[in-house]
Amino acid sequence: MCVEKLKTEFHFPYISFCKSGAQCFAEIFKRINYNDYDEVIVPITLCYSVIKEIIKAKLIPIFADIDENFQISINEIKKAITGKTKAIIYVNQYGYLQNYKSIHFKNKKNK
């Protein structure tokens, strides 16, 4: 009942309650549109339980190095993006916030 009320109130087609971040990503991967062996860019410091969910979803984790603030490096993200990239997972490690507005994504179909 609570889930249906939230769906209606916030106009979300899906709502899931998760007990962990890894379970949350498992639910996300069930709902996003991707092909097997598409890529997900992740920081080299991402916890194994999330990497495991990426692999279980038949996606390929692409590891990007971190910067001096222990955040995934924007330059490394830009280098890692390919036509098979479907997602980027980043963590604001140790409370540092990264300026992700500097990453611009272009739909490969709209060249």
Tens-digit pLDDT profile for residues 58-98 = 999 999 999 888 888 888 998 999 999 999 998 888 887 77
> What is the Rg, in whole angstroms, of the alpha carbon atoms belonging to the chain?
16
41-79 core/surface letters (b: 16 or more CB in 10 A; e: else): bbbeebeeebbebbeebebbbbebebeeeebbbbebbee
Task: Please give the DSSP secondary-structure letter assigned to residue 73.
Answer: P
Looking at the predicted structure, is the pLDDT value of residue 9 above 50?
Answer: yes
Q: Which two tokens stand for residue 92?
A: 């604001």
Q: Which long-range contacts (CB under 8 A, 24 or more apart) does 100-106 make?
A: 100/74, 102/74, 103/74, 103/77, 103/78, 105/81
Q: Evaluate whether 49 touches 91 at the Cβ level (below 8 Å).
A: no
Indicate the pLDDT class of residue 38, thresholds 50, 70 and 90.
very high
